[in-house]
Chains A and B, each alone.
Chain A
Amino acid sequence: MEKRVVFRSAWLPYALVAPQIAITIVFFFWPAVQAGWYSFQLQDAFGERTQFVGLANFAALFSDANYLYSFKVTAVFSLLVAGSGIAISLVLAAMADRVVRGALAYRTLLIWPYAVASAVAGVLWAFLFAPSVGIVTFALRSIGIPWDWVLQGDQAMLLVVIAAAWKQISYNFLFFLAGLQSVPRSLIEAAAIDGAGPGRRFWTIVFPLLSPTAFFLLVVNIVYAFFDTFGVIDATTQGGPAGATQILVYKVYYDGVKAADLGGSSAQSVILMAIVIALTVVQFRYIERRVQY
């Protein structure tokens, strides 16, 4: 007996996917095409005069040392956010998985930060680390560490990484915990009987079984660091000091929205789009092969 459900109608399947396609076109493809179109243009703020300038916007970007610097900043930022976010949440998930009593309370508390909007997360951390009134600043100063992220680029980077990763840890935690709970107990018990310690059991059994989750989170976290951390940056450093935290997406926003330079901003978002597509392809083609499902 045929188990699959088959649509007999010729148009019904299309009608059913049409809403999804329409949303994708209106909210994803259309803006992307528009950005592509604007990136070849030079336009004044009010859109009164438009000139076609070919690749001039791109040429200007790549001859700008500060734009190239922003690539480096983005790379460092994304790696730190994704790396620390995944590592810390894995540790937390492994711990929470072993908790027997009050597990629900722990898990709920660990998931909470994800409900915080990134701008709010940014402000929270900015307050804690504020150069003059922050509690953490006060503590750091009292042990002799001069903390001033308003002027020190490395400290500003550290601040936005902490704020961005903190928020993402909950999300990662949720996935890791689910992954851990689906690891068959019998495998672990068998290994334990064979004499493998907790560390060995984790690295040879649990971690390989978690690799699909870890890979998925890597992709999600990199995309998160590239795009969604905009709110954190806007609420804290606004790209400063001296461009030390100016990641690509923040520059797109600043140039396009605040400085009303549509052409330059669109060219940047086209480049950003290309980078993310390339990254995702690389991740799926090369890293996914090492993942054991």
Chain B
Amino acid sequence: MNLRTIGAVLALSALLAPAHAQTEIQWWHSMTGANNTGVNELAARFNASQKEYKIVPVFKGSYPESMTAAIAAFRAGSPPHILQVFEVGTATMMAAKGAIVPVAKVMADAKEPFDPKAYLPTVTGYYSDSKGNLLSYPFNSSTVVFYVNKDAFKKAGLDPEKAPKTWKEFVAAAEKLKAAGQQCVYTTGWPAWMHIENFSAWHNVPIGTKQNGMGGFDTEFRVNSPLHVRHVAMLGDMAKGGLFTYSGRRNEAEARFASGECAMLTSSTGAQGTIGRTAKFAWSVNFIPYHDDVKGAPQNSVIGGASLWVMAKKPAADYRGVAKFFSFLSQPDIQMYWHTSTGYVPITLAAYEMTKKSGFYDKNPGHELAVKQLTNKAPTDNSRGLRFGNYVQGREVIEEEMEAVFSGKKDAKSAMNDAVRRGNDILRKFEAANK
């Protein structure tokens, strides 16, 4: 290549380069597999839609890992613009007033139109402060649903089209399944999320005082109520009787259902993709069971998943790009893309309607069921969500105590009392650290 061609190439590339450098917006997330593809697609679509900003999605490991990385980055003075934080980290983020910028403020400062009423109340309620200001952007929200292996039901002489609605029916069905030779009758993913958090919301009983911690850090756990004890004791009895097989604290249970080993499963709506790919039997997605003697049940379930937090300490001009990106994410067609390709629920009512009209739910009833369960009734103080300081540890404590019941080491009452006592210690420490 001679000098002249090099010169020509240089001149050409100078012409092609944009006149203004784009502002890069760093987005740290924890999405893997199909969800990761979705994240990259969202960023690509946003970047193609305008020239000023460029969203750069960076996978930073699991939820706790990316949160730890962001904390370290913040301490070092270079946090990302946007950080995806799982729901149990909400209180920690919220308490870090100097480290985050509330989404409501980001939108208002950038003069981006933003109407909180356009969103599903169960979703926004979880991430808003007591005055209703949205603190973080609800990105990927799921909830827990009840999966049934229809073939196993048929084999046990049960009606495969009628999944148990109440826990009474559930236990009766479980006994029949066991009698029919089912090795593992029922298992659950995310035990505390299902059997404490969603269980409480579904029965409209508090998990803790102060509206489940939404009203302030001086909250206390209430998971040793007679109803909670009764429910955990029931699970303990089922475990002893071979009706309930414990699989672990995360989503290990999902694979055991998908393989046909277990006939019933309660786990995240996000499991539908995996089950759909691997299950070699007919299955259905249903509302989680309830105790029919509890007044007002079923109420509505609560969400899990993660939200996007905007970090402080970035150049003021960058926040306009963040606001624009959030507006982009709220568009119904974008929401619909995310909802249908991942199994997370749509966060705006418009996106829900749009998906409904598209006929997607006729083929994938499970996706709609989650929305229906979340919006079953208008959320109460007990079912809006929860916000407990350092709930990463708190949930772990509850799960440890539940494991003690399932393995027969403790009775339900003393285990739940211990969970409350130990959980409250964590809450007090968090309160002291965030005065």
Contact = CB atoms under 8 A, between A and B. Distances in A.
Contacts of B247: 131-132, 150
A132 B433 contact: no
Nearest to B401: A242
Contacts of A47: 71, 74-75
A270 B429 CA distance: 19
Interface in A13-67: 42-49, 51, 53, 60, 64, 66
Contacts of A64: 422, 425
Contact of B99 (A43, A46, A254): A46
B7 interface: no
B80 to A, nearest CB: 14
Given A42-B432, A132-B256, A261-B429, A151 B68 contact: no
A43 B249 CA distance: 28
B433 A49 contact: yes
Interface string A237-273: 0101111000000000011011111011000000000
Residue with the highest number of chain B CB atoms closer than 10 Å, among A46, A51, A263: A46
Contact of B96 (A45, A66, A259): A45
A60 B425 CA distance: 9
A153 interface: yes
- The winner among A132, A238, A243 for most chain B CB atoms within 10 A is A132
Nearest to A50: B433
Contact of A243 (B245, B400, B406): B400
B429 to A, nearest CB: 7
Contacts of A259: 390, 392-393, 396
Q: How large is the interface on B (under 10, 10 to 19, 20 to 34, 35 or more residues)?
A: 35 or more
A42 B426 CA distance: 13
A152 interface: yes
A49 B407 contact: no
A46 B96 contact: yes
B259 A151 contact: no
A242 B71 contact: no
Given A48-B99, A132-B259, A260-B92, A240 B403 contact: yes
A238 B95 CA distance: 28
A239 B64 CA distance: 16
A44 B404 contact: no
A240 B425 contact: no
Given A48-B99, A261-B393, A152 B71 contact: no
Contacts of B113: none
Contact of B92 (A45, A53, A264): A45
A127 B429 CA distance: 38
Contacts of B390: 259-261
Given A241-B403, A242-B400, A46 B68 contact: no
Nearest to A150: B248
Nearest to B62: A258
A53 B428 CA distance: 14
Contacts of A45: 71, 92, 95-96
A241 B407 contact: yes
A238 B64 CA distance: 14
Contacts of A257: 64, 68
Nearest to B262: A132
Contacts of B99: 46, 48
Given A44-B433, A48-B99, A151 B422 contact: no
B325 interface: no
Contacts of B393: 255, 259, 261
B392 A46 contact: no
A148 B248 CA distance: 11
Interface string B411-435: 0000000000010010001001111
Nearest to A258: B64
Given A46-B96, A66-B422, A255-B393, A264 B429 contact: yes
B246 interface: yes
Contacts of B256: 132
A49 B248 CA distance: 36
Interface string B329-351: 00000000000000000000000
Contacts of B315: none
Interface in A210-261: 238, 240-243, 254-255, 257-261
B250 to A, nearest CB: 9
B434 A49 contact: yes
Contacts of A43: 433
B169 interface: no
Contacts of B33: none
Contact of A258 (B261, B392, B425): B392
B98 interface: yes
Given A48-B96, A150-B246, A242 B433 contact: no
A66 to B, nearest CB: 7
Contact of B409 (A133, A242, A255, A261): A242
A215 to B, nearest CB: 38
B98 A240 contact: no
Interface in B345-404: 390, 392-393, 396, 399-401, 403-404
A238 B400 CA distance: 11
Given A242-B400, A257-B68, A261-B393, A49 B92 contact: no
What are the 4 closest A-B residue pairs judged by CB atoms, nearest first?
A242-B403, A241-B403, A46-B99, A46-B96
Given A66-B422, A153-B409, 13 more contacts: A42-B432, A43-B433, A46-B98, A48-B96, A48-B99, A64-B422, A150-B247, A151-B403, A240-B248, A241-B400, A258-B64, A260-B71, A261-B429
Interface of A: 42-49, 51, 53, 60, 64, 66, 131-133, 148, 150-153, 238, 240-243, 254-255, 257-261, 263-264
25 contacts: A42-B429, A42-B432, A44-B92, A45-B92, A45-B95, A45-B96, A48-B99, A51-B435, A60-B425, A66-B400, A132-B184, A132-B255, A133-B259, A151-B403, A151-B407, A153-B407, A240-B249, A241-B403, A242-B404, A254-B396, A258-B64, A258-B68, A259-B393, A260-B390, A263-B433
